[in-house]
A and B are shown apart, each in its own frame.
Chain A
Amino acid sequence: MAKYGGWAGKVLRVDLSTGKISTEDTIEKYKDVIGGTGIGYQVLWDEVPAGTKAFDPANKIIFGTGPLAGTGAPCNGRTAITTLWPSCWPKPLVGSGHMGGHFAAQLKYAGYDAIIVEGKSDHPVWLSIKDAKVEIHDARHLWGSGIRRTTHEINLLMGPEASVAAIGQAGENLVPMSIIINSISHAAGGGSIMGSKNLKAIGVHGTGSVTIAGKKEDWEKAIKFHLTLLGANNQHVVPSSPQPWAEHYNPGSRWMASKGLKWEAAKPPIETGACDPHNLNRIAYRTNNAAFFLGNDAWKYTVRGNGCTACPIRCHTLLKVPSVSSKYGIPEVGQNTCVGLIFGKTFFKTFPDGPKGQTSIEACMVGMHLADDLGIWNNYGLLQRDFQKLYYDGTFKSKIGEAEYNSYSWDKFEKGDPAFLFELLPRIAEKDGELATTLGMGTGYMIDRWGLSEDNWKKDPDLQYWKMGHPRHHSSEESGQVGVIINTQYNRDAQCHSHTNLIRNGLPIDIQKRLAAELWGSPDALDALGAYTPMNKYKAKMAKWSLLRKELHDAVALCNWMGPWIASPLKERGYRGDDAIESLLYTLATGDKKSRQELDHVAERIFLLHRALTIRDMGTKDMRTQHDTVPDWIFDDASGKPPFSVGTTRMDKEDIKIAMDMFYEEMGWDKKTGAPTLETYRKFNLGKVADELKQKGLLP
């Protein structure tokens, strides 16, 4: 068998029912799906039968990295966690969560590309991986502890360099809305799946390395080239304010650095400066997500940016807010990004000092402290939006008993007092009471339990609900039909950033359209925000590319929150990035020469597996009407503006039907059902998958 670089070479399998620990050869079994979600989908297809429930011992949870994890390739700190997703409603289907941090690199250094956890222990355990020494330990003394204490205790045993992926009380108590966290703040969903297996944590420390197949000078050149293409968080390639070196700027950019703006809580304070993109030693100063999400006051609390292995972006901002220590009795430091960073503040409608005042920052600190220790997931913010809706429309009052209702300090909630979170979040994690238990189930199961109507969620644009218990994730509001198509495809929120990282990058629309034309054949693939045009085949190509690039990133272990890199901050390149950077890095790391098109082919195979799993486990081939659905709110506009008029994100029903037709055609799927055809499965070497679906009557 050929010897490859990149991959560690083994997949670790741990059966918690029997205690059996074994390994299998990555290349032999999984090379055709590369890694990450590819391994996850294949394991679920091969080993987890249709009809399995999320918390059944027969469900499996796969922690998958990829060949670029643990190398020097930028933005490689990714671990994909694939399982039957517990908040997917009305039944759990395949889903994946994605955590950064240092877990992926440590796993690779220990010699593994992935971990397959199966079965169920009869008592709480944690898994220790120290290179080839893999042991299952009793975790009864950790059960009931938060993520921070668990991590600390395991690090005391394994050493400070070990990365610990742990669940909190929410995961232990089988709260579907729960997460797994490593490296303080790097989270992914699926906490309750670990809890259902009585697995409290996985600690991993590797002392090995990842071999690069290519020549050292070629590899170093490729990495340096990739670094030149990087922007700030989410590949925003222009700064948020005018800089001497910049032709363009966008006040909405996450490239926040500027002369005079300092990490003021650092000692001494550190000036972020102009950050000319040619200075590769200043990339880490570009992003300050605390300032982006919380407002300019966050600069005075910023210590620095934190992040994942080999990633210079540092999107997890470390904050030090002394007032929270005395006011709320919590540590004065905290870190996170995006929805994790704003977890606390988004519960509240108002704050006494405004939406970006001191209280809102304190709410964020309290929210991070609680959620990242208890291990609570917020379903991309839908938890908070549901909470506000159900309180203010009186549902809580009508659905829970008076005594329980009165046990909450609603006056604190209405006033925007962060102390309210101490009443709510621990109860969600502990399933304490009807309200908290129901919220923790996720939106779909909550709708069922309380006899509500999903139609109300589908109609309300403020809730941003999409389908199957989950919200939109970069849909029509910013990318028209492309976003709609992407949001129809998964069994949770889409988590695809390939399209939005182009649309929001801050470049003039003319340049964005030029880049779009180079990739998808026409500038019409892309519309300006709020100036949408009818569907065309180039948009279908863009949607397909976006989905495949997400799957590719999840498989090779590159961050789809940062990439793809089809634009760059470099004027001399016409602001082009390089759509073949993944191919360059993959080929050099592994020695498996694959062009951009060949890697896209593999990504499509992986995506097809996801589709096949969804079809098999739903038991229907009619994806078009049963799965690829869209909410009603995308067809409405409060101002009454018709679709395709300037200033609306309103979509047109007939046009969306055309959009799905074009997408299915682009994918080689049956237009009537939205199911892949036999020929398409065969084209991607998934004939056996097609045969099984055919036996079940699930081929079009």
Chain B
Amino acid sequence: MITECRNVILDSIRESSHAGLLLSEQDILASVMMPQAESDGQIRESEAKDILHEIIRSHEDIQVISDRMECGYYYSTLAMTHAYARLLILKKENVLDLMVSITREHAATYARPVPITVFQQAPFELSEDEISFCTDQMTELQGYEDMDQITTSIGTRFLYSRQYLDVGHAMMLAEWEDVGQSANP
């Protein structure tokens, strides 16, 4: 039964990752507890948790990432990267932090500003109202002083972090991405 339970958990984490989803510990436990409880009632929550922890120890691909409330979310690196898992946690928690974090990361890692329309697309899928609210918050709240916006010659808005890019560099890079690259294919 324990083997069967372990396989159910493993499969569900890996399948969810393939589908681009995280699985919370709560959901995992529920998935193994309910059917088992109906059949023989022998898997208790503590046992299920032990199995889950044993899976983490014995399967390198199974990873856990925690949100701010220290709730664990599970994914398989066979199908999902840590970067994507982190993006999903940020999206779940706070879309303002999501936009800021992504923007800073792009500036620091790739030296590039981010077209705001990116946040409307999958997997962000923020509405225009949500994006407007967030960009307003960036100007109003403390802690986001490095965030700035620029607009290209064809009217596309980009976000960037002044902590990593100066405005002239950001403008040049945005213009290149929005206009220059397609004019120089």
CB closest residue in chain A, given B169 = A647
Is B18 on the interface with A (CB-CB < 8 A)? yes
Find out whether the CB atom of B81 lies under 8 angstroms from the CB atom of A244.
yes
Q: Residue B172 contacts which of A250, A251, A342, A648 (CB distance < 8 angstroms)?
A: A648
Give every chain B residue within 8 A of A464 (Cβ-Cβ): 183-184
State the Cβ distance, A659 to closest chain B Cβ, in Å: 20
Find out whether the CB atom of A242 lies under 8 angstroms from the CB atom of B184.
no
CB closest residue in chain B, given A641 = B168
Please report whether the interface of chain B is mostly helix, strand, loop or mixed according to DSSP. Answer: helix
A241-269: contact bitstring with B at CB < 8 Å (1 yes, 0 no)? Answer: 11111111011100000111000000000
A336-364: contact bitstring with B at CB < 8 Å (1 yes, 0 no)? Answer: 01110010001000000011100000000
Give every chain B residue within 8 A of A506 (Cβ-Cβ): 110
Give every chain A residue within 8 A of B170 (Cβ-Cβ): 647
Other than A246-B81, A528-B111, give 11 A-B pairs with Cβ distance below 8 A: A241-B123, A242-B84, A244-B17, A251-B177, A258-B122, A354-B154, A474-B184, A477-B184, A478-B184, A530-B111, A646-B168
Of the A-B pairs whose beta carbons lie under 8 Å apart in the complex, a sample of 13, sorted by A's number, is A243-B20, A244-B84, A247-B82, A252-B181, A259-B122, A260-B122, A342-B182, A354-B155, A473-B184, A477-B184, A504-B181, A647-B170, A648-B172
Is A167 on the interface with B (CB-CB < 8 A)? no
State the Cβ distance, A47 to closest chain B Cβ, in Å: 35
A348-387: contact bitstring with B at CB < 8 Å (1 yes, 0 no)? Answer: 0000001110000000000000000000000001000000
CB closest residue in chain B, given A341 = B185
Is B79 on the interface with A (CB-CB < 8 A)? yes
Is B118 on the interface with A (CB-CB < 8 A)? yes
Find out whether the CB atom of A251 lies under 8 angstroms from the CB atom of B114.
yes
Find out whether the CB atom of A245 lies under 8 angstroms from the CB atom of B122.
no
Q: How many A-B residue pairs have CB under 8 A?
A: 107
Find out whether the CB atom of B185 lies under 8 angstroms from the CB atom of A245.
no
Give every chain B residue within 8 A of A338 (Cβ-Cβ): 185
State the Cβ distance, A532 to closest chain B Cβ, in Å: 11
Is B166 on the interface with A (CB-CB < 8 A)? yes
State the Cβ distance, A461 to closest chain B Cβ, in Å: 11
Is A639 on the interface with B (CB-CB < 8 A)? yes
Q: Residue A639 contacts which of B18, B81, B168, B184 (CB distance < 8 angstroms)?
A: B168
Binding site for B on A (CB under 8 A): 241-248, 250-252, 258-260, 274, 276, 292-293, 337-339, 342, 346, 354-356, 381, 464, 472-474, 477-478, 504, 506, 508-510, 528-531, 571, 639, 641, 646-649
Give every chain A residue within 8 A of B110 (Cβ-Cβ): 248, 250, 506, 508-509
CB closest residue in chain A, given B113 = A251
Report the count of interface residues on B (CB-CB < 8 A). 38
Q: Residue A244 contacts which of B18, B109, B181 (CB distance < 8 angstroms)?
A: B18
Within 8 A of A (CB), among B81-133: 81-84, 87, 109-112, 114-115, 118, 121-124
Find out whether the CB atom of A245 lies under 8 angstroms from the CB atom of B172.
no
Find out whether the CB atom of B17 lies under 8 angstroms from the CB atom of A509.
no
State the Cβ distance, A156 to closest chain B Cβ, in Å: 34
State the Cβ distance, B116 to closest chain A Cβ, in Å: 10
State the Cβ distance, B149 to closest chain A Cβ, in Å: 15
Q: In the complex where A248-B83, A342-B182 touch, is A646 in contact with B169 (Cβ < 8 A)?
A: yes
Find out whether the CB atom of A251 lies under 8 angstroms from the CB atom of B20.
no
Find out whether the CB atom of A247 lies under 8 angstroms from the CB atom of B184.
no
CA distance A342 to B122 in the complex (A): 27
CA distance A354 to B81 in the complex (A): 37
